A and B are shown apart, each in its own frame.
Chain A
Amino acid sequence: MEKIKLTIDGREMEAGLGSSLLLIAREADIYIPAICSHPDLQPGGNCGLCVVELAGQEDLVKACETSAAAGMEVYTNTPRVKEYRKEKMAAILGDHPHACLTCAQQEGCSRTQCSSNVSPDERCCEKLGNCELQKIAMYIGIKLDTPRYVYRELPVIREEKLINRDYNLCIGCGRCVRMCSDVRGIGALQMTEMQGKLVAVPKNGSLADSGCRFCAACVAVCPTGALMDKAGRCLRGELRRDISKPPMPPESWLVFNEENVDKVPGVEGVLQLLDEKKMVLAIIGTANLREALGEYLENEKISYFVYEEEPMYTSRESQLIQQFLQKHGRLPEGVGDMDDLF
């Protein structure tokens, strides 16, 4: 393939002529949010989140549909780009329940009852905390005038074996349809309109009647809780391994060294100390972030850290520990200072 040179966010790089900007950026570890695209699929071109700005060009372009050309200057994170992404995200969220994104208690919620009094139909789905749409929306940011979600009473199908469907949660990205037809070669799914909203449905009513093989590859690529397998029983091992994970928004961890610690403000907040695999070792609420970090500088277990400023650091600390517990089924391992005390 012929090689050309271009710059993305000021970084000069080489790429094959004709590859999409989205792919080139991903190769270079530059994150561009995109929800209809998936590493294993052709881009859908319908979410509009992957827009970027090209030098000398008035209109923003979709990174997934734009081919690289020699000398291109691409900017992935300009104010215009950010604003446009927010608008697109607002349009998606207008038709997707988003109490989970706007609730002050979204993290560390016990899920035993809803303190925001959200109507049961619009409450957080099972994907809470593990949802691609949620993570991307948090990364892009939610516009203040995001339209209120109105429940449309679209079908929720739990009667079919192995896979549950909830059309209210579908955002019409079409990943499942492309997965089913292009990758799996089955084509049991298609896009259709329901009350003016684009959703993916089985071709002949039920999945069983549409030739579905219940491989659940569609579930694996669904960025929302619209398609869920029942207790993870389908999706055989090898197939699960074969399906790539879409890139996630970058985390804000920093390398644990004196220079970075000095940049941390000396205010109240919560720290997360990570080992070399970026696994959380300890979650610590403190009245002085910089001082607390300084105490651990000698500790060789710690390679990275994350901090957030938070005046209510004790309760935030408990929330984060609780989240960790729910995700990993155990407490953080600790950094050694409290080992073997008893």
Chain B
Amino acid sequence: MAEKPKEYWRWDEYNWRNPDIDWRKAKIITAGVDVGSVSSQAVIMADGELYAFANMRTGSDSPNSAINAMNWALEGTGMALSDINFTVGTGYGRVNVPFANKAVTEIACHARGANYMYGSTVRTVLDMGGQDCKAIRIDEKGKVVSFLMNDKCAAGTGRGMEVFANLLAVPIVEVGEMSLQVEEEPAPVSSTCVVFAKTEATGLLRDGWPKEKVLAAYCSAMAHRVISLLERNGVEKDFAITGGIGKNVGVVSRIEKELGLTALKPRYDTQIAGALGGALFAKALVEKGTKK
């Protein structure tokens, strides 16, 4: 039997729990579930504090992804789904969260999540997700002021990076570091379209370029692409990046360099920002409901 090809694009799926919090003492328990095109996250908050989350790949059907992520976040907590007072679904598959009480757009959730994750000084959020990226400007309460998204395709997004990791046989978590190991920054690949960039990269490899240099050229093309998006929407300090690409130092450092701004360091996994925002919306909705 043929050996299964190694999947370099695969990133670690994991769950996390804050051991210092006893959820049984909490008054309001809320959850946010972000079903994206590439990854799904479930976040559980106890009285507005992050208690547990899970981050995994989106399966072939959204309802199961949402349930799987939620079950994993609940794992080991002793909590049951019925203990959660309110759940908000978000992301591109947000209406397919069967146990959600309400769906909220991912733009609003990422804004709110970034506000929690990075503090109230954040004004510009760049969400680099699996299939699109959005430049969002927010106020001190985490409310969206304006946003702009790339409207086209996987160009300059997480899925594009996965394709590249596989092409170059570099584990995806090492892509960023590796792309920085170049003496001189190469010119960005001329196309950010995944299909064309892949062809171009294959050509570069054939010309004898080391992997590091090809990755540098791709990371910088990606950075370049989102910069134009950011600048059209306007950039104001503080600046933060959410979404999976936020973990790729190769792209982040290039964006920072070109923008002349340092991105804030995240308190948690940048991928959970959307689900986190969802859980915060859920809490606010519960409170609004009880006030009435």
Determine if chain A interacts with chain B. Answer: yes
Complex partner residue of A315 from B92, B103, B147, CB under 8 angstroms: B92
Give the residues from 322 to 341 in chain A that come closer than 8 angstroms, CB to CB, to chain B: 322, 325, 329-331, 338, 340-341
Cβ-closest chain B residue relative to A313: B95
Q: Which residues of A contact B71 (CB under 8 A)?
A: none
- Expressed in whole angstroms, the Cα–Cα distance for A314 and B150 within the complex equals 14
> Is A110 engaged at the interface, CB distance under 8 Å to the other chain?
yes
Complex partner residue of A110 from B148, B153, B280, CB under 8 angstroms: B148
- Expressed in whole angstroms, the Cα–Cα distance for A112 and B148 within the complex equals 11
| B144 close to A341 (CB less than 8 A) | no
| B288 close to A341 (CB less than 8 A) | yes
Complex partner residue of A115 from B93, B95, B148, B153, CB under 8 angstroms: B153
- Expressed in whole angstroms, the Cα–Cα distance for A134 and B272 within the complex equals 41
| B150 close to A110 (CB less than 8 A) | yes
Complex partner residue of A342 from B93, B134, B228, B284, CB under 8 angstroms: B284
Give the residues from 48 to 92 in chain B that come closer than 8 angstroms, CB to CB, to chain A: 91-92
Chain B count of residues within 8 A CB distance of the other chain:
38
Q: Can you list, as one digit per residue, whether each of B18-44 has a CB less than 8 Å from chain A (1) or not (0)?
A: 000000000000000000000000000
Q: Can you list, as one digit per residue, whether each of B219-256 has a CB less than 8 Å from chain A (1) or not (0)?
A: 00000010011001000000000000000000000000
Cβ-closest chain A residue relative to B105: A317
> Is A303 engaged at the interface, CB distance under 8 Å to the other chain?
no
> Is B141 engaged at the interface, CB distance under 8 Å to the other chain?
yes
| B285 close to A341 (CB less than 8 A) | yes
- Expressed in whole angstroms, the Cα–Cα distance for A288 and B3 within the complex equals 45
| B147 close to A322 (CB less than 8 A) | yes
> Is B4 engaged at the interface, CB distance under 8 Å to the other chain?
no
- Expressed in whole angstroms, the Cα–Cα distance for A113 and B224 within the complex equals 12
Q: Which residues of A contact B284 (CB under 8 A)?
A: 341-342
Q: Can you list, as one digit per residue, whether each of B85-125 has a CB less than 8 Å from chain A (1) or not (0)?
A: 00000011111100000011111100010000000000000
Q: A110-B149, A115-B152, A319-B151 are in contact. Are A342 and B232 (CB under 8 A)?
A: no
Cβ-closest chain A residue relative to B115: A342
- Expressed in whole angstroms, the Cα–Cα distance for A112 and B133 within the complex equals 14
Q: Which residues of A contact B228 (CB under 8 A)?
A: 112-113
Q: Which residues of B contact A109 (CB under 8 A)?
A: 151
B88 CB to nearest A CB, Å? 11
Q: A105-B152, A325-B147 are in contact. Are A110 and B232 (CB under 8 A)?
A: yes
Complex partner residue of A287 from B91, B95, B225, CB under 8 angstroms: B95
> Is A50 engaged at the interface, CB distance under 8 Å to the other chain?
no
- Interface hub of B91, B92, B141, B144 (most chain A Cβ within 10 A): B92
Q: A287-B95, A315-B92, A341-B288 are in contact. Are A322 and B148 (CB under 8 A)?
A: yes
Q: Which residues of B contact A115 (CB under 8 A)?
A: 151-153, 193
Complex partner residue of A318 from B103, B104, B145, B149, CB under 8 angstroms: B149
> Is B143 engaged at the interface, CB distance under 8 Å to the other chain?
yes
> Is B160 engaged at the interface, CB distance under 8 Å to the other chain?
no
| A322 close to B143 (CB less than 8 A) | no
- Expressed in whole angstroms, the Cα–Cα distance for A338 and B277 within the complex equals 14
Chain A count of residues within 8 A CB distance of the other chain:
25
- Expressed in whole angstroms, the Cα–Cα distance for A330 and B139 within the complex equals 13
- Expressed in whole angstroms, the Cα–Cα distance for A115 and B288 within the complex equals 44
B85 CB to nearest A CB, Å? 15
Q: Which residues of B contact A249 (CB under 8 A)?
A: none
Cβ-closest chain A residue relative to B95: A287
| A342 close to B143 (CB less than 8 A) | yes
- Expressed in whole angstroms, the Cα–Cα distance for A331 and B229 within the complex equals 18
| B92 close to A314 (CB less than 8 A) | yes
A312 CB to nearest B CB, Å? 9
- Expressed in whole angstroms, the Cα–Cα distance for A314 and B129 within the complex equals 14
> Is A170 engaged at the interface, CB distance under 8 Å to the other chain?
no
Cβ-closest chain B residue relative to A117: B193
A332 CB to nearest B CB, Å? 11
| A331 close to B95 (CB less than 8 A) | no
> Is B281 engaged at the interface, CB distance under 8 Å to the other chain?
yes
- Expressed in whole angstroms, the Cα–Cα distance for A226 and B152 within the complex equals 28
- Expressed in whole angstroms, the Cα–Cα distance for A340 and B289 within the complex equals 12
> Is A224 engaged at the interface, CB distance under 8 Å to the other chain?
no
> Is A173 engaged at the interface, CB distance under 8 Å to the other chain?
no
Give the residues from 106 to 131 in chain A that come closer than 8 angstroms, CB to CB, to chain B: 108-110, 112-113, 115
Chain A residues within 8 Å of B, Cβ to Cβ: 105, 108-110, 112-113, 115, 285-287, 314-315, 317-319, 321-322, 325, 329-331, 338, 340-342
Q: List 19 A-B contacts (CB under 8 A).
A: A108-B149, A110-B151, A112-B228, A112-B229, A112-B232, A115-B151, A115-B193, A285-B95, A285-B105, A286-B95, A287-B96, A314-B92, A314-B106, A321-B105, A325-B146, A325-B148, A331-B144, A331-B145, A341-B284
Given contacts A286-B95, A318-B105, A321-B105, 9 further A-B contacts (CB under 8 A): A105-B151, A318-B107, A322-B149, A330-B146, A338-B108, A341-B281, A341-B284, A342-B141, A342-B284
Chain B residues within 8 Å of A, Cβ to Cβ: 91-96, 103-108, 112, 132, 134, 141-153, 193, 225, 228-229, 232, 280-281, 284-285, 288
Counting from the closest, the 7 A-B pairs by CB-CB distance are A341-B284, A287-B95, A115-B152, A112-B228, A314-B92, A342-B141, A108-B151
